[in-house]
């Protein structure tokens, strides 16, 4: 009897398998097409070889650098090979900051540990200390508010050490980053308001290691500019322990400087829509990266994701109803010039972006998408998108609200849906803005799954609108 009961479900299973190879019924059409997208991405995707070339043959692509120019040329050539309807370069003037010589940051003549070199990187856009460097007493703070409370009497003439860690209780590490990064972005000017001569910032990562993380600062207009560096989390822990026992001095020497703005480009390619060409669906990432690594996760992954979306659509001979546009933005890291220039030109042309999808969270395992939009349109557009959850949940994808991408945020006034691709975030800030953000940190299959995920959502938006 057991054999008989076993054969019945087995026969049903075989029938289902055979049925699935036949022409799908209307309700299953999208599921079968999305499966086709994934099959293509995982067997014929080009994102990994493109990223390998970009990171190993070109390297770090700081805006204004020769490497950034090489990346523009390379990605344009690759888009040219896809037989798109149009590929072009959009001129944009970008800031040109250079790091200069290797940074020197040292605890000097401590009664506790003697002199000790710290692993450090100058923050992007920072001025240098000058050839002689600076030496000053260090004062530790946890917040910008604490600087204000201490005031000029305790801050003047000192180096301010911002040492608030990223919150490890935040399950999404981007939230932890957002809760700590004001120290890096605004901390130098806040310290300068009260007479500080320099700033040291704890690196933005949840991990304890010896790898310093760079990143941009923004000087406040009218406030004196002072040099700023980030130190590794391990060194931040050491410095904090020493400060609890004695007054401590640090020597800093950096030769970074901001040069004149330089001409660069956004790289753009598109497939023209067959029915509603004036409705644009954008997919993009930022082409620039910091100079200390090779920008594999940030944001080489987002660029090759976006390029591979176009490659996959062409390979499966998909004819979109709406115009699909790939945009590789220049200068997200230390100025956002590319995103601003693109939105300005788009608005002047009277374009309408029905949706814009940015991949700028690494090449890790896909988890879904977050979205935002102008308040007038967000609720109905987001609700429409959630109707597709049954098609995407089998691939581990979901939808959340809040946030999209820095480069596409300037398009908000067009009242389309702004969407951020969200892979698993737990390891992202191990590599973010560091020398270890290299191709070795990227898993080929995870990267390909990202391209498939974005292509699938884009297909649904194109087919059904919002």
Give the mean pLDDT of the chain: 94
Q: Could you please report the per-residue DSSP string of 226-239?
A: --EEEE-HHHHHHH
What is the CB neighbour count within 10 angstroms for residue 386?
12
CA-to-CA distance for 399 and 391, rounded, in angstroms?
12
Name the active-site residue from 103, 193, 279, 332.
332
pLDDT score, position 116: 98
Nearest Cα residue to 205 out of 232, 240, 169, 238:
232
CA-to-CA distance for 161 and 229, rounded, in angstroms?
10
Could you check whether the bond before residue 299 is cis, i.e. omega within 30 degrees of 0? yes
351 is catalytic: no
CA-to-CA distance for 147 and 192, rounded, in angstroms?
10
Nearest Cα residue to 96 out of 72, 74, 70, 66:
66
CA-to-CA distance for 321 and 315, rounded, in angstroms?
17
At 252, give phi and psi (nearest 5°). Answer: -125, 135
- Residues of the chain falling short of pLDDT 50: 1-26
Only one residue has tokens 């260090």, namely 138
Only one residue has tokens 């299959």, namely 445
Class of domain 27-96+260-464 as given by CATH: alpha beta
Fold of 100-255: Glucose Oxidase; domain 1 (3.50.30)
pLDDT in tens, 96-131: 999 999 999 999 999 999 999 999 999 999 999 999
CA-to-CA distance for 466 and 380, rounded, in angstroms?
8
pLDDT score, position 361: 98
Domain ranges of the chain: 27-96+260-464, 100-255
Nearest Cα residue to 138 out of 108, 179, 181:
108
CA-to-CA distance for 305 and 282, rounded, in angstroms?
12
Reported as type and span, the H/E element at residue 270 is strand 257-271
pTM, to two decimals: 0.93
At 95, give phi and psi (nearest 5°). Answer: -65, 150
């Amino acid at each position: 009897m057991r054999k008989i009961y076993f054969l019945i479900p087995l026969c049903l299973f075989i029938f289902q398998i055979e049925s699935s190879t036949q022409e799908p019924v209307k309700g299953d059409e999208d599921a079968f097409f999305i499966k086709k997208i994934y099959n293509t991405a995982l067997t014929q995707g080009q994102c990994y070889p493109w990223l390998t070339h970009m990171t190993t043959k070109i390297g770090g692509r700081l805006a204004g650098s020769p490497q950034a120019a090489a990346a523009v040329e390379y990605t344009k050539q690759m888009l040219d090979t896809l037989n798109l309807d149009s590929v072009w370069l959009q001129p944009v003037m970008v800031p040109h900051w250079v790091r200069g010589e290797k940074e020197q940051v040292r605890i000097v003549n401590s009664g506790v540990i003697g002199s000790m070199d710290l692993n450090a990187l100058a923050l992007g856009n920072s001025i240098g200390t000058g050839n002689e460097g600076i030496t000053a007493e260090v004062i530790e703070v946890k917040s910008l508010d604490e600087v204000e409370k201490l005031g000029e009497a305790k801050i003047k003439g000192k180096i301010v050490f911002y040492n608030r860690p990223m919150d490890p209780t935040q399950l999404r590490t981007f939230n932890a980053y957002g809760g700590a990064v004001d120290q890096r972005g605004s901390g130098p000017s806040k310290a300068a308001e009260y007479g500080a001569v320099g700033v040291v910032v704890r690196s933005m990562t949840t991990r304890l290691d010896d790898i310093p993380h760079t990143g941009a600062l923004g000087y406040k207009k009218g406030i004196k500019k002072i040099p700023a560096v980030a130190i590794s989390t391990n060194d931040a822990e050491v410095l904090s322990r020493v400060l609890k026992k004695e007054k401590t001095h640090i020597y800093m020497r950096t030769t970074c400087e901001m040069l004149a703005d330089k001409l660069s480009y956004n790289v753009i390619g598109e497939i023209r829509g067959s029915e509603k060409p004036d409705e644009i669906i954008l997919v993009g990432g930022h082409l620039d990266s910091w100079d200390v690594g090779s920008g594999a996760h940030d944001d080489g992954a987002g660029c090759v994701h976006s390029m591979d979306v176009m490659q996959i659509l062409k390979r499966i001979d998909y004819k979109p109803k709406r115009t699909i546009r790939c945009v590789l933005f220049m200068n997200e890291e230390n100025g956002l010039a590319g995103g601003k220039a693109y939105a300005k030109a788009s608005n002047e042309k009277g374009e309408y972006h029905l949706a814009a999808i940015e991949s700028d969270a690494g090449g890790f395992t896909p988890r879904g998408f977050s979205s935002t939009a102008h308040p007038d349109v967000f609720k109905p557009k987001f609700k429409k998108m959630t109707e597709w959850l049954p098609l995407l949940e089998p691939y581990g994808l979901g939808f959340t609200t809040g946030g999209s991408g820095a480069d596409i945020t300037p398009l908000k006034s067009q009242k389309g849906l702004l969407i951020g691709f969200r892979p698993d975030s737990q390891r992202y800030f191990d590599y973010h803005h560091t020398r270890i953000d290299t191709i070795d940190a990227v898993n080929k299959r995870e990267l390909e799954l990202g391209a498939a995920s974005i292509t699938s959502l884009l297909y649904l938006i194109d087919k059904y609108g919002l």
